[in-house]
Amino acid sequence: MNIGFIGFGTMGRPMAEHLLKAGHGLRVWSRRNASADFAVALGAQRCDSVRDVAGGSEIVCTNVTGSADVEGLAAQLAEGLAPGAIHVDFSTIAPSAARRVAALHAARGVDFVDAPVSGGGVGARGATLAIMWGGKAALAPRLAPIFSLLGKTVVHVGDSGAGQVAKACNQMVMVAAIAACAEAARLAAAAGVDFTLVRQAMLGGSAGSRVLDVFGGRMASRDFAAGVEARLHHKDYALLMDEATRIGAPLPVSASVWQQLNALMARGWGAQDTSSLLRVLETARPDRAR
């Protein structure tokens, strides 16, 4: 297929590489030309504008940071996408923003699919992402050739915006688990017990999880360099807490985690891994921190 692609960060770059290596034609654009150089080297066509990307594409994929970024790109894509085209957005944005973009495109006969992903850079590179998408179910056959190259688990959640709701739920559970790992590490240290051994024991029990393995491992080794930048989880929580406020959903655990993320950001650790939530707890009693 002729596919447009915009957004070549930690997730977007390997996703674009998978599409190119599978033989799809890619039309690419980036605010910084250098960001798309790798794609051009692999055979992609560099475009001069977002509208130019849209003009020659059956499907345009975007993978950027926030709601405003996606809505800004959608306004430009709408000027060039032909009726029957699809805009697939892999970003994590507000469900309400996804619905606005869907309405914008629908007025021009274009379909919009919100398809946020989970799995991080490792999942993007290994094509093992979990893809949760919202949009018309009838689009599934056209999307399958793309999704099958990028992810291991693909679930159609519902109409436009439903993919973003699923991603919000994913982030709620995952980051709450990271915060729980931080509290376990802090309790172990306060009790004078080696968290490395505590974690080892927990991994074999009912608390065993990927979060305890990966993020708990970073806490045990005190390696807070970014695997996942905490600012991104902070951004995701801002979206989900805003959505919860808008629809009146009580999220008491998430509200507490949100405050811990706020404290992390206030300390200037947004570029560090989210396992730095342990350091937030340690600042309450620095004399007892390891």
Examine the domain organization and report whether 124 and 211 are in the same domain: no
Examine the domain organization and report whether 183 and 269 are in the same domain: yes
Helices 162-190 and 230-247: crossing angle in degrees, nearest 10, is 120
Examine the domain organization and report whether 205 and 223 are in the same domain: yes
Note the pLDDT tens digit of each residue in 145-195: 999 999 999 999 999 999 999 999 999 999 999 999 999 999 999 999 999
- Catalytic hit among 21, 136, 152, 167: 167
Is residue 167 flagged as an active site residue?
yes
Q: What is the CATH number of the domain that holds 117?
A: 3.40.50.720
Bridge partner residues of 134 (DSSP):
114, 158
- The boundaries of the domain holding residue 57 are 2-159
Task: Report the percentage of the chain scoring pLDDT > 90.
Answer: 94
Bridge partner residues of 156 (DSSP):
133
Give the CA distances from residue 76 to residues 67, 99, 123, 132, 162, in Å, rounded to whole numbers and listed in that order.
15, 17, 30, 25, 24
Note the pLDDT tens digit of each residue in 112-151: 999 999 998 899 999 999 999 999 999 999 999 999 999 9
Examine the domain organization and report whether 111 and 226 are in the same domain: no
pLDDT for res 50: 96
Q: What is the CATH number of the domain that holds 257?
A: 1.10.1040.10
Examine the domain organization and report whether 149 and 176 are in the same domain: no
Examine the domain organization and report whether 112 and 239 are in the same domain: no
Does 199 or 287 have the greater pLDDT score?
199
Examine the domain organization and report whether 117 and 248 are in the same domain: no
Note the pLDDT tens digit of each residue in 26-65: 999 999 989 999 999 999 999 999 999 999 899 999 999 8
Note the pLDDT tens digit of each residue in 3-18: 999 999 989 999 999 9
Note the pLDDT tens digit of each residue in 183-219: 999 999 999 999 999 999 999 999 999 999 999 999 9
Examine the domain organization and report whether 49 and 135 are in the same domain: yes
pLDDT for res 285: 63
Note the pLDDT tens digit of each residue in 216-237: 999 999 999 978 899 999 999 9
Examine the domain organization and report whether 25 and 139 are in the same domain: yes
pLDDT band at 284 (very low <50, low <70, confident <90, very high): confident
**Domain termination site, one of 128, 159, 190:** 159
Examine the domain organization and report whether 205 and 268 are in the same domain: yes
- Number of domains the chain contains: 2
Examine the domain organization and report whether 122 and 263 are in the same domain: no
Give the CA distances from residue 216 to residues 199, 219, 221, 271, in Å, rounded to whole numbers and listed in that order.
7, 5, 9, 18
**Domain termination site, one of 99, 128, 159:** 159
Q: Does position 290 have pLDDT exceeding 50, yes or no?
A: no
Examine the domain organization and report whether 65 and 94 are in the same domain: yes
**Domain termination site, one of 125, 159, 193:** 159
pLDDT for res 60: 98
